Amino acid sequence: MERKRTAFCPSICPGIECEASNQVLEFASNKGVNTFVQRVEGRGLDRCQFGAGGTCCRNCSMGPCMMIEGVPESIGICGATPATTAARNFCRMIAAGAAAHIDHGRETVMGFLAAAKGEAPYEIKDERKLLSTAQLFEIKTEGRSIKDIAIELGEKAMAEFGRQDGGLHFIKRAPVKRQEIWKKLGILPRGIDREVTEMMHRTHMGTDQDYENLILQGSRCALADGWGASMISTELQDIMFGTPVPIRAMVNLGVLKTDEVNVVVHGHEPLLSEALAMVVDDPEIVAAAQAVGAKGVNLAGVCCTGNEVLMRHGIPIAGSFIQQEIVLATGAVEAMVVDIQCIMQSLPTVAKCYHTEIITTSPRAKITGATHIEFDHHNALQVAKDIIKRAISRYPQRGPVHIPQRKTEVVAGFSHETINHMLGGAFRASYRPLNDNIINGRIKGVGAIVGCDSARVRSGYVHTTVARELIANDVLVLTTGCAATACGREGLLTPEAASLCGPGLREVCEAVGIPPVLHMGSCVDNSRILIAATEIVREGGLGDDISQIPAVGCAPEWMSEKAIAIGQYFVASGASVIFGHTFPTTKSQVMTDYLFKDLLDLYGGCWGMENDPHDIARWMIEAIDKRREALGIHKKKERVLFDMAMRREL
């Protein structure tokens, strides 16, 4: 396909599949502003093959040791083999990714406890979820106040992090068969922090040197993330801020406003962004904005904080990870407020070319050149107001802006509870209709497209190509993170996208009125996908474990270590997962074969990697077909046309 030439050379920098972003990049480049495009062009995409393929060890000062598999003398000075080295590096990625979610989870619990005690301005919005979660944590609810129950839940959730043994409460949600597999393999997480610590210890020089044993701990560490910290984040955030329900909103650079003060939230934890959402329409704030000639304050999101406030409030998303500098380069942002994870260090440099202030808010994530205003959930509203007032004070300094007109409508807010209600109806919420449609073949299966976007690929193109191909083949897509934003930009998160589906999926989407690509939230909300998969199992008819249901995942543009942790907890939960464009163990065939083939026997799910989005989609569809065949539901049944009664039933 012929692509429009932009401010960069597509043969060096793959760029981004977004006309609006390309317009702004052109504008920025003419102004001499450097973004990821110039950095990619400056250093190219070539990289050290030892590092990229996992066979460079720098875990002690005798190294770094670079190794070539198959060359007997090409091992570490300590004797470490390429497979051991690739496994250690892979496991350290899992530990780092899990640690990011774990720290997020801990912060969420601290905010939750403060809210429960009345020391923070948040409420208990979803009492139903509070009670069901309390039950899982074996908390007595009868005759007790919501406040008491919430405090005990917060304390018990906090104890999960420091627990040394006895298992995590949310593990009990997994299918029984899956729990038995974890028990048999000895990988039931004992406590959240413990698994990360042990992973770092085992990968220390001279400790665990058996790649299979290392990956077992990698799985335990990843499970402590998915079924531990990430699930705690999602559930407690839902209880505090509300469980998402379908909501219409807008996505892309065009959500920025020319006549309002634009404040962009970026990062991951919703504690601050919720506080900003609470005060943005405060009369005091509106008056302050009007005093400098603006109509008001426009709050927009970037990355996963953006997804959090999109899911719950319909606050628009200005951009994904790869668009963060482009959002600034519109010249229309008064302040970008960041907390943790996926924040480019280049932001203050880009911001200096405009009137924009970058405000860091977490003591765990400071950036030279940014203003630091520490967020404290006890004083959340005051901090939020102070930040917005600083943004307002910048508005008079705004220069020429370049806000592309492009923005796309999305329907987001598909928590697993929403899917339950939408498909099963308000009075008999269940996954039965979904399971029945999978069994009768109208829906071939479920494909998760999650994770980051990246400067290494034509950003957005890979996600949306995989999504289009899956839905055209009747695969219902669940999406989170920056993948969801990319799908949103391309109009795939609307019910109208049903026209792009195969006939079976189209019938279902049109009957229920849902998009074929369901936005389930942020990175930590991948735990919602674990629960959705578990509910499919529980509903019956599709096997008794996640490894049997026709479901598969991908992260085609992955970039962060968190993606590796997420991938490993899906694989260890029985779902196969394919990554795109690169994989961090490829220089050890032994290790790669272990992850791509042998894990299938252990967990019922394994890893894969393909470059081309069509190959990624093909791999996923084949994996789904294999599971359909194993379940005996692969034979094409005669299509039944829906009459009105059947639609009502659905």
Binding site for ligand MSK (CB under 6 A): 268, 303-304, 321, 341-342, 451-452, 481-482, 522-523, 560, 562
CA 27, 29, 35, 38: dihedral to nearest 10 degrees?
150
CB of 308 to ligand MSK, least distance (A): 10
CB of 478 to ligand SF4, least distance (A): 39
510-515 contacts, C-beta under 8 A, 24 or more apart: 511/642, 511/647, 511/650, 512/422, 512/423, 512/650, 514/246, 514/411, 514/414, 514/422, 515/411
CB of 200 to ligand SF4, least distance (A): 14
The Cβ of residue 136 has, within 10 Å, a number of other Cβ atoms equal to 15
CB of 85 to ligand SF4, least distance (A): 6
Q: Which of 205, 472, 600, 650 binds ligand SF4 (CB under 6 A)?
A: 205
Cα 530 to Cα 181, 247, 298, 360, 566: the distances in Å are 16, 22, 34, 32, 11
Q: Which of 22, 23, 59, 230 binds ligand SF4 (CB under 6 A)?
A: 59
Q: Whose Cβ is closer to ligand MSK: residue 451's or residue 608's? A: 451
444 binds, among ligand MSK, ligand SF4, none (CB under 5 to 8 A by kind): none
Longest dimension (CA), the chain: 73
What's at 82, amino acid-wise?
P
515 sits near ligand SF4 (criterion: CB under 6 A): no
The packing angle between helices 211-224 and 176-185, to 10°, is: 140
Per the CB < 8 A criterion, the answer to whether 324 and 455 are in contact is no
Task: For residue 16, give both structure tokens.
Answer: 């981004």
Based on the number of CB atoms within 10 Å of its own CB, is 2 exposed (0-12), middle (13-18) or buried (19 or more)?
exposed
609 binds, among ligand SF4, ligand MSK, none (CB under 5 to 8 A by kind): none
Cα 448 to Cα 216, 329, 526: the distances in Å are 24, 32, 9
Q: Whose Cβ is closer to ligand SF4: residue 210's or residue 281's? A: 210
Query: Does residue 550 have a cis peptide bond before it, meaning omega lies within 30 degrees of 0?
Result: no
60 sits near ligand SF4 (criterion: CB under 6 A): yes
Q: Whose Cβ is closer to ligand MSK: residue 134's or residue 452's? A: 452
63 binds, among ligand SF4, ligand MSK, none (CB under 5 to 8 A by kind): ligand SF4
562 binds, among ligand MSK, ligand SF4, none (CB under 5 to 8 A by kind): ligand MSK
Backbone angles phi, psi at 3, to 5 degrees: -110, 150
536 binds, among ligand SF4, ligand MSK, none (CB under 5 to 8 A by kind): none
Q: Whose Cβ is closer to ligand MSK: residue 234's or residue 560's? A: 560
Distance of CA 494 to the CA centre of its chain: 20
For β-strands 65-66 and 56-57, DSSP reports them as antiparallel
65 sits near ligand SF4 (criterion: CB under 6 A): yes
The Cβ of residue 363 has, within 10 Å, a number of other Cβ atoms equal to 10
78 binds, among ligand SF4, ligand MSK, none (CB under 5 to 8 A by kind): ligand SF4
CB of 487 to ligand MSK, least distance (A): 12
341 sits near ligand SF4 (criterion: CB under 6 A): no
Separation between Cα atoms, residue 81 and residue 85, nearest integer Å: 6
Q: Whose Cβ is closer to ligand SF4: residue 65's or residue 623's? A: 65
CB of 69 to ligand SF4, least distance (A): 14
Q: Whose Cβ is closer to ligand MSK: residue 304's or residue 537's? A: 304
Q: Whose Cβ is closer to ligand SF4: residue 76's or residue 154's? A: 76
62 binds, among ligand MSK, ligand SF4, none (CB under 5 to 8 A by kind): ligand SF4
Q: Whose Cβ is closer to ligand MSK: residue 279's or residue 342's? A: 342
Separation between Cα atoms, residue 33 and residue 476, nearest integer Å: 41
> Which residues are paired to 478 by β-bridges?
448, 518
| Best CA proximity match to 288, nearest among 337, 357, 334 | 334
CB of 288 to ligand MSK, least distance (A): 31
Backbone angles phi, psi at 218, to 5 degrees: -55, -40
List the interface residues with ligand SF4, window 38-57 (CB under 6 A). 57
214 sits near ligand SF4 (criterion: CB under 6 A): no
H or E stretch at 482: helix 481-489
185 binds, among ligand SF4, ligand MSK, none (CB under 5 to 8 A by kind): none
Q: Whose Cβ is closer to ligand SF4: residue 55's or residue 560's? A: 55
205 binds, among ligand SF4, ligand MSK, none (CB under 5 to 8 A by kind): ligand SF4
CB of 61 to ligand SF4, least distance (A): 7
CA 7, 12, 18, 24: dihedral to nearest 10 degrees?
-30
List the interface residues with ligand SF4, window 71-110 (CB under 6 A). 76-78, 80
Q: Whose Cβ is closer to ligand MSK: residue 341's or residue 585's? A: 341
Q: In what order do the strands lie in the sheet with 475-479?
A: 517-519, 475-479, 445-449, 551-555, 576-580, 607-610
CB of 597 to ligand MSK, least distance (A): 27
Q: Whose Cβ is closer to ligand MSK: residue 174's or residue 486's? A: 486
CB of 234 to ligand MSK, least distance (A): 13
CB of 194 to ligand SF4, least distance (A): 24
CA 119, 125, 131, 135: dihedral to nearest 10 degrees?
-70
Cα 188 to Cα 16, 195, 219, 528, 603: the distances in Å are 41, 10, 9, 20, 13
Q: Which of 63, 167, 491, 541 binds ligand SF4 (CB under 6 A)?
A: 63
Separation between Cα atoms, residue 251 and residue 172, nearest integer Å: 37
For ligand SF4, the binding residues (CB under 6 A) are 57-60, 62-65, 76-78, 80, 205
